[in-house]
Amino acid sequence: MVTDDPDDVTEQARDASPTTWELFRRFADDPPPVPPRPGDPPRTAEQRLAYHSRFVTVRTPAVVKTLLEVRTLMALGRHQQATARPSLIVTGPPTTGKTTTLLEVGRTCHLAEQARGGHGASQVPVAYLLVPPGATAKALALEFARYLGIPVSARMTQTQIAASVCHTYNTVGVRLVMIDEIHRLNPRTSTGAEAADFLKDLTERISATFVYAGIDVTTTALFTGTAGAQLAGRAGLIDCAPLPAVARTSRTGPGASATARGPGSSDDRSGGSEGPAGSQSNTRRGRNGSSADGADSRNSAGESRRGTVLIRPFRETVAAMENALDLQHHRSGSLVRLAPYLHERTAGRIGSLSRLLRRAAITAILDQSEKITRASLDAIALDHLAEEHYRPRPPIRRTSRTNAPGRRAT
Ligand SMILES: Nc1ncnc2c1ncn2[C@@H]1O[C@H](COP(=O)(O)OP(=O)(O)O)[C@@H](O)[C@H]1O
Ligand SMILES: [Mg+2]
């Protein structure tokens, strides 16, 4: 059914968080939406509505950097026993793509393990959990149990649940544990400190690499308190900041806006423009032959000079999304030209950008204009955060030619 409300269409396909193995496997095995390719038969309006409502995942600098870091940490930790392996925290303001980054990494890891197959391959390579609001240690233990469907009775103590969780996670061979919304853990409170201690204990008992994501965690108690510091202190950091508008000089390739430090940080110079080898993420070719992979299109937005890459992550992301549009009359390149305007409207937050472009594309299909223009973008109200930030400038009054410097009024 084709609904007339773009918001309905946009939100319809937002999947619930894949916080059980069954849901995660379905998410990871589900082929990502494919942008139109030359020679493909045209898709129906309904198919295109569904396509734009999910839309592509762009390999932003943070995605590329996190993939590389996680692969490095997993390789480092593979044969390490007894002590906790080094971990990673993806941090940044809301709607900057932290969860998407985590899930993309999880999907890549899951598919790589599937491709490896054979004897010794993990049955359940990846776990993805959310920290529940006001989490206690027991609530966290239950989240771990729920992911794998481990039976828990009301009489079981937290210690018993933890033992069962660690045993099962190690038996099925979980290699990567991803914990989202880590900012909900507040080690300044006694329950929060207990929960942080419990998590640290699990990192020592489960033979997996732990990756966390949370809102601006460096300013929270997770980094400043003692209990939190035990957990966060050994973690590397990926900064999932809003995408900067301007070109900046970097020695690090496409990972430039994602900084990583701490134990296990990989050598930045290895970042390159290809992303991690063997990556299974949805790099697809758009209509004009460019990639939906924002990270490897540096020729369009930057230049490489002996290890120094000038990148414009925001522009590249706009280009990647524009190339992935499936609209019949859209003028290719018109959105890239509007990049400064789009940056002003979205403050460089990929969540607001994606929402704006997906809404505009869906409206363009429903009203049959089949293109996105400055006027159609102007007509869309964004989330409160973005609208607060955006103050349209008054139109610049053109100086009449006769008053221009060097010309005399007659
Ligand atoms: N790499 C990406 N490519 C395309 N869209 C993205 C990407 N990262 C985030 N988004 C969009 O932004 C929205 C918010 O991202 P999310 O990962 O939930 O942010 P956060 O976890 O930082 O709040 C997502 O629903 C998605 O539509
Ligand atoms: Mg999130």
pLDDT tens-place string over residues 280-311: 333 333 343 333 444 333 333 333 333 333 45
pLDDT tens-place string over residues 73-129: 998 877 766 566 789 999 999 999 999 999 999 999 999 998 887 777 789 999 999
Q: Do 23 and 148 meet the contact criterion of CB atoms below 8 Å apart? A: no
Q: For the CA atoms of the chain, what is the radius of gyration?
A: 23
Give 17 Cα–ligand 2 centroid separation in angstroms: 10
Give 21 Cα–ligand 2 centroid separation in angstroms: 19
Assess if residue 180 is contained within a domain: yes
Dihedral (Cα; 306, 308, 312, 317), 10-degree rounding: 70
What pLDDT was estimated at residue 76? 84
What pLDDT was estimated at residue 11? 43
**Domain check: are 318 and 215 in the same one?**
no
| Ligand with the closest atom to the CA of 95 | 1
The residues near 13 (Cβ < 8 Å, ≥ 6 apart) are 50, 53, 54
**Domain check: are 191 and 132 in the same one?**
yes
What pLDDT was estimated at residue 117? 78
Show which of 171, 206, 239 is a domain's final residue: 239
Give 213 Cα–ligand 2 centroid separation in angstroms: 7
**Domain check: are 70 and 125 in the same one?**
yes
Q: Which residues, judged by CB distance below 6 Å to any ligand atom, belong to the binding site of ligand 1? A: 57-58, 60, 63, 92, 94-100, 350-351, 354
What pLDDT was estimated at residue 54? 93
- Give the β-pairing of 304-305 and 308-311: antiparallel
Assess if residue 274 is contained within a domain: no
| Ligand with the closest atom to the CA of 353 | 1
Interatomic CA distance for residues 239 and 175, integer angstroms: 23
Assess if residue 41 is contained within a domain: no
What pLDDT was estimated at residue 361? 98
Assess if residue 235 is contained within a domain: yes
| Ligand 1 atom nearest to CA at 213 | 21
What pLDDT was estimated at residue 210? 95
Residues of the chain with pLDDT under 50: 1-4, 6-14, 249-310, 399-410
| Residue 37 three-state SS | coil
**Domain check: are 103 and 193 in the same one?**
yes
Domain of residue 343 covers 247-251+282-381
**Domain check: are 172 and 69 in the same one?**
yes
Give the domain CATH number at 218.
Answer: 3.40.50.300
Interatomic CA distance for residues 196 and 110, integer angstroms: 27
Interatomic CA distance for residues 89 and 83, integer angstroms: 18
> What tokens appear for 71 in the block?
């692969």
**Domain check: are 194 and 82 in the same one?**
yes
**Domain check: are 309 and 160 in the same one?**
no
Give 84 Cα–ligand 1 centroid separation in angstroms: 30
Q: Do 364 and 326 meet the contact criterion of CB atoms below 8 Å apart? A: no
Give 95 Cα–ligand 2 centroid separation in angstroms: 7
**Domain check: are 226 and 289 in the same one?**
no
**3-state SS string for 109-132:** HHHHHHHHCCCCCCCCCEEEEECC
Quickly count: other Cβ atoms within 10 Å of residue 9's Cβ.
Answer: 23
For a mutational test of ligand 1's pocket, the pick from 240, 350, 355, 358, i.e. the residue with the most ligand atoms closer than 8 A to its C-beta, is 350
Assess if residue 183 is contained within a domain: yes
| Dihedral sign, Cα of residue 258, residue 263, residue 269, residue 271 | negative
**Domain check: are 107 and 221 in the same one?**
yes
| Total of domains in the chain | 2
Assess if residue 201 is contained within a domain: yes
**Domain check: are 235 and 362 in the same one?**
no
> What tokens appear for 322 in the block?
């524009």
Assess if residue 364 is contained within a domain: yes
Among protein residues, the one with the nearest Cα to ligand 1's atom 11 is 351
Nearest-5° angle of CA 174, CA 235, CA 263? 100
Assess if residue 19 is contained within a domain: no
Show which of 181, 206, 239 is a domain's final residue: 239
| Residue 130 three-state SS | strand
**Domain check: are 201 and 83 in the same one?**
yes
**Domain check: are 99 and 233 in the same one?**
yes
| Ligand 1 atom nearest to CA at 355 | 27
Interatomic CA distance for residues 189 and 7, integer angstroms: 39
Residue carrying the six token digits 């966060």? 232
